Structure 1
């Protein structure tokens, strides 16, 4: 039954603590405690041995298995190094451009100052016209650097004028630059052009090699004609002399032109020898000249 209304809570009764009975003199509690302690120590030693064996096995497998501090240091170092590299690699964006512009302005001021000094010297040329002028090596180098810089600036200005978009009248340059665009396969075009150039070089080298081998034949042809003509020429005086001898014999002369025959024979023997030596020299000169031309062309193509 539930009661409604004011309910007074009954006071809680405190439990009295239970007192342990005093140990008796003849009780065997001490023996039981000693046995428990012995068993506890035995289990401890056993567990220690097992842990030592496990440690030995782990160290045999991996000597750095328990190097926790070193591993943590390595992890921290790996996390710190990229941050340091980022700090080192980060360079200012605009300082380099500002420094280049400052150098450019300084060079322009130096050139203007040198021109001003040159104009002042021109006024005093009449006073020091007959005297020697001494220029140091450093000043010469400075003037050469200024000339070089002016030439580079002139080229840069010409490039800017050429690439100026406001001066373009048609889309020819736009389509020309489309071929250089990497997104549209410009790399493949460059590779094809390189291959085509390499093939051209190989063909030209083969042609030059053929030309280097052919000059000997080309030179021999006219010389062979010369040899034939020289032989004919050497044979003509022999025939004339034979005709003379025959006519003299017919006339009845007793004189035999032995000296003439011997001289003509010697000339006929010497003529082919001279032609062969000249022919050999000409062929060697032609081959050497062809090789020199081939090497010069090859060197020029490699430098390009």
Structure 2
């Protein structure tokens, strides 16, 4: 908006003079730097360093692998990789394995047929090479042994298949027989049967050991009784014992024949041997009982000690 008429000039404002700071010299002291602040800062820094070092020491004492970050990461990665590798290894084709087994079986059959063919050809040429030496390598022998083994296994497999063929069976006897071995119906498993067999074997071994432990005690303790003529038995040699047994058998046979011939003589013959046998039997029983009592007394004394 324009003004008309007398216009008064406004007084000019004086410019304030700008003060120029002098350039700082090298030898002047910096008044802005606070020495106390710097000292406190350094002290706090050293204190924090000490605290961190103590914490590190405590952590390492508790767990040496506390700061093994690289190793932990490697383990985590390895754990994540291993299942994938195992999955790759475990994953096998379902039907190719069966086909490969069949191919191996056919290959072995072809090899056996080829060997038989070669054997027939050799039989034809036996007249030409009858006087010459034949050399067979170890690998060829092993191959023939493997073929024999495989043929035996195949024969057993065929026999099993024929035995288990349901179409050739006329009754359900096998079915009922297998019901006994069915665990679901209360039959015992294989492990239980094996445990029972082991327990029975242990019982038999314990019985044998008890018999062995009793037999030496009887042999040692029987001579103490004067009634039994064990001193004579010890002095007798095995040949004399055999002769004695043979003579006793002959006497027994003679007695039997005499009993069949005469009834009167049989009664007289019976009385004498019966009396001797009964007395000997009583003496032996008394000696065994005394020996057993002494053995039990010794055993009891050992247990009390």
TM-score (norm 1): 0.46
* Whole-angstrom distance in 2 between the partners of 1:265 and 1:173: 61
Q: Deviations over 1:244-288 (max 9, x none)?
A: 9999999999999x9999999999999999999999999999999
With 122-131 and 221-230 compared, the bigger mean Cα shift is at 221-230
**How does 1:68-217 map onto structure 2 within 5 Å?**
68-120=69-121, 139=140, 141-184=142-185, 186-188=187-189, 191-192=192-193, 195=196, 199=200
Q: Which is worse superposed, 174-183 or 195-204?
A: 195-204
Report SS of the residue matched to 2:64. coil
- Does the 8 Å contact 2:181/2:187 carry over to 1? yes
**CA offsets 1:216-268 (integer angstroms, 9 cap, x no match):** 99999999999999999999999x99999999999999999x99999999999
Q: Which moved more, 1:63-72 or 1:180-189?
A: 180-189
Per the TM alignment, residue 129 of structure 1 is displaced from its structure 2 partner at its CA by 7.8
Which range is displaced more, 270-279 or 34-43? 270-279
1:104 shift after superposition:
1.7
Mean Cα displacement is larger for which, 21-30 or 139-148? 21-30
Moved more, 48-57 or 32-41: 32-41
Query: Over aligned residues, Cα RMSD in angstroms?
Result: 15.9
Task: State the Cα deviation string for residues 274-303 of structure 1 (Å, max 9, x = none).
Answer: 999999999999999999999999999999
When residues 114 and 69 of structure 1 are mapped into structure 2, their CA distance, relative to the original with a 3 A threshold, is: closer
| Distance change (3 Å), C-alpha of 1:143 and 1:269 | same
Instruction: Go from structure 1 to structure 2 and tell me whether the alpha carbon gap of 1:273 and 1:160 turns closer, same or farther (over 3 Å shift).
Output: closer
CA shift at 1:157, angstroms? 0.7
Aligned to 1:10: 10
More moved, 280-289 vs 114-123: 280-289
TM-superposed CA distance for 1:196, in Å, is: 5.2
The answer to whether the Cα contact below 8 Å between 2:112 and 2:147 also exists between their aligned partners in 1 is yes
Worse-matched range after superposition: 268-277 or 157-166: 268-277
C-alpha deviation, 1:200, in angstroms: 7.3
What is the SS of the residue equivalent to 2:155?
helix
How many equivalent residue pairs?
A: 302
**How far off is 1:179 after superposition?**
3.7
Q: Structure 2, unaligned stretches of length 5 or more?
A: none
Distance 1:139 1:246 in 2: 61
Deviates further, 29-38 or 265-274: 265-274
Q: Could you tell me how far 1:73 is from its partner in structure 2?
A: 2.5
Contact 1:216-1:283 within 8 A present in 2 as well? no
Change (3 A) 1:286 1:201: farther
1:111–1:146 CA contact under 8 A, matched in 2: yes
Deviations along 1:40-95, whole A, 9 cap, x unmatched? 44444433333333333333443433332332233223333333344345555545
Cα distance in structure 2, aligned partners of 1:189 and 1:117: 48
User: How many Å separate the matches in 2 of 1:250 and 1:161?
Assistant: 60
Q: 1:164: how far off?
A: 1.3
List runs of 5+ in structure 1 lacking aligned partners: none
Moved more, 77-86 or 13-22: 13-22
Native 8 Å contact 2:222 2:287 kept in 1: no
> TM-score when scaled to structure 2?
0.46
